[in-house]
Amino acid sequence: MKSIYSDDSLALHTDLYQINMAETYWADGIHNRKAIFELYFRKLPFGNGYAVFAGLERMLEYLRNFKFSESDLAYLQQEVGYKEDFINYLRDIRFTGDMYSMLEGELVFGNEPIVRIEAPLVEAQLIETALLNIVNYQTLIATKASRIKHVAGEETVMEFGTRRAQEMDAAIWGTRAAIIGGFDSTSNVRAGKLFDLPVAGTHAHSLVQSYRSDYEAFHAYARRHKDCVFLVDTYDTLKSGVPMAIKVAKELGDKINFIGVRLDSGDIAFLSKEARRMLDEAGFPEAKIVVSNDLDEYTMLNLRAQNARVDLWGIGTKIITAYDQPALGAVYKIVSIEDENGVMQDTIKISANAEKVTTPGHKKVYRIIDRENGKAEGDYICMHDEDPSSEERLKMFHPVHTFISKFVTNFEAKNLHEKVIANGEVVYESPTVEEMKQYAFANLDQLWDEYKRSLNPEAYPVDLSQKCWDNKMRNIEEVKEMVQRTVDEIEGA
């Protein structure tokens, strides 16, 4: 790696093509036209029925500080080959637009805008890659965490993943996302410091191996640590580990808080039941059993089915790497652009795949909540000048299979977007991570159980208003006519 630049910035944390497009807009004089972009994913991860949004705080930090540094500019000019006039233009670029976003801990579904950016075209374009990078990872991890916590219920879930994470940033931000999704603590001390998260941990096999005996190791640990969880599987869980943990706990009595034991290998169902029996018989019915070893929601469910006696779960690799689905496919699409007369014109991307056709225009997204039972009926995407609250009887219909429809009455329409940046100024103060987690729990309470089950959940409705749907159809027709004119011109030439 080249020397560490003292003025390294995140503005270059982008794909080259964004800068190439920025140069095109600038050279053509359309760079300051107002544009609206939306960030959303199409398909929920892990086959889950919902996702938990995370990443806003980092996006705000990134946009607040967006600026090419002198070493960035020198690199772009000398190594990549951009001309000086464009470099000089880039020097003064900042994010001056507006940002509307869901809040961290919000439940989010396919094809609904999580974030809306309204900004000069060039700015909105340059930030795409970083925003997607942030949201795709953090939302993925928060969602996986929510699935795991859903299985754990009241039992404690500890995040142990740092050593297996895709490098250091992923460990830090992934841990934070895991807590938003419902985890109780992390073993990553820096994440604890940076985000004010509860930190927790036990000890490793190396401690026991260093003392060459369970008894000596537990005793040494207990001399310096009041709260003790002893790792009991280094040599022989039932013949040495658990008996020595009990022996040390009895010897030291009130001098320590004997929290319990950790199992990290072997048959967790069998060993946890045996360990439970031994602890109970020794007079430690309150002692907890912590388990770890490549766990996730599937092994947890399976262990439950075997009546494993587990109080706390330590989860590493499978949460921090989102092991069974390594990426969320969120995209960032332009939906409206100012024309030469200063009028906003909707814009659409056509695809043979109906799900991939973008929904044009300046839109808003509401959660429709039944006032009688407090449950979410679905999400409703409408044009920015529509207000579903004013409707007595709201028609909701599937945006592709339009014959699937229903009417809702006596509902509350909750606007899911908050204005978090106004004219480049961050106008939103992030709550604590704990508050984000509580917000996610409260949102889950609004969701029917059918959408929350981890296997084959029902599809939660994300519907378009009639006006939004009509607008989309009109845009499709316009594009078809435009393509036909092009074909005619070519054939006529």
Ligand X SMILES: O=P(O)(O)OC[C@H]1O[C@H](OP(=O)(O)OP(=O)(O)O)[C@H](O)[C@@H]1O
Q: How far apart are CA 164 and CA 244, in angstroms?
A: 30
Q: Is 209 a residue that touches ligand ATP (CB under 6 A)?
A: no
**Smallest distance from the beta carbon of 152 to ligand X, in angstroms?**
14
Strand intervals (E) in 189-269 = 227-231, 257-263
Partner that binds at residue 202, options ligand NIO, ligand X, ligand ATP, none, CB closer than 5 to 8 Å by kind: ligand NIO
**Pairing mode of beta strands 344-346, 331-338:** antiparallel
Q: Is 317 a residue that touches ligand ATP (CB under 6 A)?
A: no
* Chain positions contacting ligand X, by CB under 6 A: 160, 163-164, 204-206, 264, 292-295, 314-318
Q: At what angle do helices 214-224 and 242-252 cross, to 10 degrees?
A: 40
**Smallest distance from the beta carbon of 256 to ligand NIO, in angstroms?**
17
Query: For 264, phi and psi rounded to 5 degrees?
Result: -130, 10
Show the tokens assigned to 95. 């994010």
Q: At what angle do helices 128-152 and 433-445 cross, to 10 degrees?
A: 60
Q: Are 179 and 433 in contact (CB under 8 A)?
A: yes
Q: Which is nearer to ligand ATP, 304 or 474 (CB)?
A: 304
- Among the candidate windows 14-22, 142-150, 292-300, 342-350, which touches ligand ATP by CB under 6 A? 292-300
Closest among 143, 101, 112 to 462, alpha carbons compared:
112
Q: Are 360 and 173 in contact (CB under 8 A)?
A: no
Residue from 136, 138, 156, 202 binding ligand NIO (CB under 6 A): 202
Q: Is 137 a residue that touches ligand NIO (CB under 6 A)?
A: no
Secondary structure class of 256 (helix, strand, coil): coil
* Residues 146 to 175 in contact with ligand NIO, rule: CB under 6 A: 160
Q: Which is nearer to ligand X, 178 or 444 (CB)?
A: 178
Q: Residue 29: which region, alpha, beta or left (left: phi > 0; alpha: psi -120 to 50)? A: left
Q: Is 481 a residue that touches ligand ATP (CB under 6 A)?
A: no
Number of residues located near ligand NIO, criterion CB under 6 A: 8
Partner that binds at residue 317, options ligand ATP, ligand NIO, ligand X, none, CB closer than 5 to 8 Å by kind: ligand X
Residue from 155, 216, 267, 311 binding ligand ATP (CB under 6 A): 267
Q: Is 265 a residue that touches ligand ATP (CB under 6 A)?
A: yes
State the DSSP string of 100-133.
EEPPTT-EE-TTS-SEEEEEEHHHHHHTHHHHHH
Q: Is 187 a residue that touches ligand NIO (CB under 6 A)?
A: yes
Q: Which is nearer to ligand X, 109 or 160 (CB)?
A: 160
Number of residues located near ligand ATP, criterion CB under 6 A: 12
DSSP state of 344: E
**Smallest distance from the beta carbon of 412 to ligand ATP, in angstroms?**
44
**Smallest distance from the beta carbon of 186 to ligand X, in angstroms?**
12
Q: Is 143 a residue that touches ligand NIO (CB under 6 A)?
A: no
Residue from 192, 201, 243, 266 binding ligand NIO (CB under 6 A): 201
Q: At what angle do helices 128-152 and 297-305 cross, to 10 degrees?
A: 10
Buried b (16+ CB within 10 A) or exposed e, 75-112: bbbeeeebeeebbebbeebebebbbbbbbbbbbbbbbb
**Smallest distance from the beta carbon of 7 to ligand X, in angstroms?**
37
Catalog residues that contact ligand NIO under the rule CB under 6 A. Answer: 160, 187, 201-202, 262, 292, 314, 316
Catalog residues that contact ligand ATP under the rule CB under 6 A. Answer: 265-269, 293-295, 299, 302-303, 306
